[in-house]
Amino acid sequence: MHFDVFNGDADGIIALLQLRLSQKIEQPNDPVLITGVKRDINLLKQVDVNKAKSVTVLDISLEKNHDALVEILQKEINVFYVDHHRTGEIPQSKKLVSLLDTDANTCTSLLVNNYLNGEFCTWAVAAAFGDNMQASAEILAKQNNLTLEQQSLLSELGVYINYNGYGRSVEDLHFHPADLFQQLLKYPDPFELIYEKNSIFTQLKNAYLADMDKAKNAEVLFNNEHCKAVQLADEPWARRVSGVFGNELANASPNKAHAVITKNDDGSYTVSLRAPLKNKQGAGDLCARFPTGGGRAAAAGINALPQEMLSDFFNSVSEYYA
Ligand SMILES: [Mn+2]
Domain locations in the chain as residue ranges: 2-205, 218-320
- 64 CA to centre of ligand 1 in angstroms: 14
End-to-end CA distance of the chain: 51
- 219 CA to centre of ligand 1 in angstroms: 28
Residue-level pLDDT at 100: 98
* 2-205: CATH class: alpha beta
- 84 CA to centre of ligand 1 in angstroms: 7
CA pair distance 19, 22, nearest whole angstrom? 5
Q: Return the closest-CA partner of residue 289 out of 321, 320, 260.
A: 320
- 137 CA to centre of ligand 1 in angstroms: 13
- 308 CA to centre of ligand 1 in angstroms: 30
Kindly list the protein residues that place their beta carbon closer than 5 angstroms to ligand 1, a single-atom ion.
11, 59, 107, 131
CA pair distance 32, 237, nearest whole angstrom? 29
CA pair distance 8, 230, nearest whole angstrom? 24
The pLDDT tens digits of the residues spanning 94-114 come to 999 999 999 999 999 999 999
- 272 CA to centre of ligand 1 in angstroms: 14
- 27 CA to centre of ligand 1 in angstroms: 23
Instruction: Give domain 218-320's CATH architecture.
Output: Roll (3.10)
Residue-level pLDDT at 39: 87
- 12 CA to centre of ligand 1 in angstroms: 6
- 6 CA to centre of ligand 1 in angstroms: 10
Which amino acid type is present at position 74? Q
- 226 CA to centre of ligand 1 in angstroms: 25
- 104 CA to centre of ligand 1 in angstroms: 10
- 76 CA to centre of ligand 1 in angstroms: 27
Per-residue pLDDT of the chain (322 residues; tens, 9 = 90+): 999 999 999 999 999 999 999 999 999 999 999 999 998 999 999 999 999 999 999 999 999 999 999 999 999 999 999 999 989 999 999 999 999 999 999 999 999 999 999 999 999 999 999 998 999 999 999 999 999 999 999 999 999 999 999 998 999 999 999 999 999 999 999 999 999 999 999 999 999 999 999 998 889 999 999 999 999 988 899 989 877 788 889 889 999 999 999 888 899 999 999 999 999 999 999 999 999 999 989 989 999 999 999 999 999 999 999 9
- 108 CA to centre of ligand 1 in angstroms: 6
- 140 CA to centre of ligand 1 in angstroms: 16
- 75 CA to centre of ligand 1 in angstroms: 28
- 129 CA to centre of ligand 1 in angstroms: 11
CA pair distance 98, 175, nearest whole angstrom? 29
The arrangement of strands across the sheet holding 96-100 comes to 32-34, 2-6, 54-58, 78-83, 96-100
Residue-level pLDDT at 121: 98
| Integer angstrom CA distances of residue 217 from 162, 207, 221, 232, 233 | 22, 17, 13, 9, 10
